[in-house]
Amino acid sequence: SRPDRRDGGRRRGYVAHMARIAHFALTALDCPDPVALAEFYSAITGWEVDGDIEFDDDTGPLWVQLRAPSGATIAFQRVADHRPPLRPGSEHPQQLHIDFDVPDLDAGEQAVLAIGARKAEEQPGTSFRVYLDPAGHPFCLVHDPDLIL
């Protein structure tokens, strides 16, 4: 089972001993405006927006990617009738969220609010905070006092 990082249950160096089936490529988020959401997450991560944007001549950008120098990728896919998850609840549940480690929760909060995040009403912990990106996807800032940015 995955340790709950939010409550300090980190298990660094844990490796599952099983054969690899595939290589993780990316995480994709549905959204109404992939360029705007890519720019939002670029401001959080410092990662560059990939210049190879999949485009439809009639409707505009369809697929935009952020790539980290380490190879991790977050992609943003336009969905015309995108409905953001409602949190908490199960009518339109979150199906994934992204955690970002920060050395200072208050400073991290100020920074993400300044670029368009909204703080979620429900805050279920003290070592992390939940926010909504401009398209309504939840993400967390997780306190890591050992992190140096």
Residue 80 is predicted with a pLDDT of 86
Q: What is the pLDDT of residue 5?
A: 53
The residue type of 31 is: C
Q: What is the pLDDT of residue 1?
A: 34
C-alpha dist (Å) from residue 128 to 16, 42, 50, 79: 26, 21, 29, 29
Is residue 34 within 8 Å of 65, Cβ to Cβ?
no
Residues contacting 88, CB < 8 A, separation 6+:
122
Give the Cα separation of 105 and 138 in Å (integer).
Answer: 16
pLDDT at 83: 86
pLDDT score at 3 = 45
Gyration radius of the chain's alpha carbons: 16
Residue 2 pLDDT: 37
Mean pLDDT for each consecutive 10-residue tract of the chain (149 residues)?
A: 47 60 78 95 95 88 92 90 80 79 94 96 91 92 89
* pLDDT of amino acid 17: 65
- The structure's pTM equals 0.74
pLDDT score recorded for residue 130: 93
What is the structure's pLDDT at 25?
Answer: 75
